[in-house]
Structure 1
Amino acid sequence: MLTHEEITSLDEILSSHDYDSASVIAIMQDIQKTYRYLPQEALTYIAGKLKMSEAKIYGVATFYENFSLEPKGRYVIKVCDGTACHVRKSIPILEEFRNILGLSETKHNSDDMLFTLETVSCLGACGLAPVCTVNDKVHAAMTPEKARELIKELREEAADEN
């Protein structure tokens, strides 16, 4: 069930796009920026407001890889495991992130929801391999040691902002 504040926020997003169903992707991008994923209740709400079927809304949400129907942490770390990164030892980096954050192949979010860890096939930065991104910022020539330092910096940043 959506709260009054959530409905107000969704209405502001919809209004900024003139309640135009042709802007559904941009609307969903704005919702994801707000929540870090697309909550089911929000999708149901915008379907009604845009006079679109929920099936159509879910079709858009599941078609595009950048949309997530699952909650994500404040920091989304993507570790590249494409060929260039893999041969330059991206797996030990991935394993270090998992160890530090208490994650596994099936558990992608840290308990505090500060971090989400994903693997991707290619980040398009092969010359900088091995690479990872944190909220789309590239970190080149990664090592397990650099992974530990990065997590430490991100935790300090989050603590400073709270």
Structure 2
Amino acid sequence: MLSDAEITAINHEISLVPHKKAAVIEALKVILQHRHWVSDECVESVAELLEMSPAEVDSVASFYNLIFRKPVGRHVIHLCDSISCYVMGYEELYQALQQMLDIRFGETDTDGRFTLLPNCCLGCCDHAPALMIDEDLYQDVKPGQLKRMLKKYS
């Protein structure tokens, strides 16, 4: 069940588009802002508001890698594993993150602070390797910078 604040925000997004269905991505983003992930119940509620089937909403939610269909930590680390990042040191970053956080891709650390996910491209191949924490993009990352970087999200 959606909160009144979520319904109000989604109705606002609906008011900005010519057809309710066109607000599906923005509606899912509203859910993410409030809950950090989109549950099956939320998919059903969004579908009802937008006059769509739950399968249609889920197909959108599961297509985009920044819409989380499972619980995630308070901060999500997207480590770019494109060929450019791979060549420029992705493997060392991945190993360092695994060691520091004691998690692998798709996992969340024990205190629920970080979830580590692969990302096929962050769009900064000329500054590889790269990673993104929440909405913050880091380029030309070296393993020795990670500890200071992660401390910012304590």
Structure 1 length as normaliser, TM-score? Answer: 0.81
> Once the two structures are superposed, what CA deviation does each residue of 1:86-128 show, in whole Å capped at 9, x if it has no partner?
12221111111111111024x5212222111112222111121
Find the aligned partners of 2:94 and 2:11 in 1 and give their Cα distance: 41
Aligned to 2:5: 9
Q: Say which SS state the counterpart of residue 73 (structure 1) adopts.
A: coil
Give the 3 Å change call, closer, same or farther, for CA 65–104 of structure 1 in structure 2: closer
What are the residue-to-residue correspondences of 1:93-132 with 2, within 5 Å?
Answer: 93-105=93-105, 107-132=106-131
Amino acid at match of 2:60: V
Stretches of structure 1 that go unaligned for 5 or more consecutive residues are: 156-162
> Once the two structures are superposed, what CA deviation does each residue of 1:111-161 show, in whole Å capped at 9, x if it has no partner?
222111112222111121111111232212212111122122322xxxxxx
Shift of 1:69: 0.5
> Once the two structures are superposed, what CA deviation does each residue of 1:39-77 show, in whole Å capped at 9, x if it has no partner?
211111122233322112112212333322012222211
Matched, 1:64 2:60: no
Number of aligned positions between the proteins = 150
User: What is the RMSD of the two structures over their aligned residues, measured on CA atoms?
Assistant: 1.9
Stretches of structure 2 that go unaligned for 5 or more consecutive residues are: none
Aligned to 1:160: none
Find the aligned partners of 1:134 and 1:118 in 2 and give their Cα distance: 10
Aligned to 1:140: 139
Shift of 1:18: 4.1
Aligned to 1:75: 75
Find the aligned partners of 2:130 and 2:22 in 1 and give their Cα distance: 36
Find the aligned partners of 1:147 and 1:99 in 2 and give their Cα distance: 11
Find the aligned partners of 1:108 and 1:153 in 2 and give their Cα distance: 20
Retained in 2: the 8 A contact 1:10–1:42? no
Amino acid at match of 1:41: E
Aligned to 2:37: 37
Amino acid at match of 2:29: Q
Percent identity, aligned pairs only, is 24
